[in-house]
Amino acid sequence: MSWQEYTIFLLESIGIYNRDLMLHYYRKIKKFMIWHQNKFGIELKDIPDTAECKLEGQRKVISWRRIARAIEKNDFYLRRLSFAQTKNDDKQLMELIHKWDNLLNQTTLTDDKALQKIIQQKWI
């Protein structure tokens, strides 16, 4: 399976259980791709499956592996794709937390400090 296929598989898998979250990731990834197309002229068909790990880690190149890893890590804000946390994202996250209260709670495992903070605020 290529990284592109794996990325699509991850999005579809998320969509089975939570369409809102899948659409959130889809919109952000689409914006990421459009930015790279406008800035560097990289078309969707030209996105490499992988790039040099060092450059991916420094967020200097686009690759399907980088996108898939962001989804794997449950990176809601997609910081791994150079996005920042926004008020709109926070609002959407709170709506998802309220809607899926039984899945997001104090024991939710995440290494995203902003997400941990929001989850903790909900329980205070």
DSSP string, 47-92: --S---HHHHHTT-S--HHHHHHHHHTT-TT-GGGT----HHHHHH
Mean pLDDT, residues 27-31:
95
* pLDDT greater at residue 103 or residue 36: 36
Distances in Å between the Cα of 83 and the Cα atoms of 5, 76, 101, 123 are 23, 10, 26, 27
Instruction: Identify the pLDDT of residue 122.
Output: 60
- The answer to whether residue 107 scores a pLDDT higher than 60 is no
Q: Are 82 and 61 in contact (CB under 8 A)?
A: no
Count of structural domains within the chain: 1
- The answer to whether residue 104 scores a pLDDT higher than 60 is no
Domain span including residue 71: 3-123
| Per-residue tokens: 49 | 């499956």
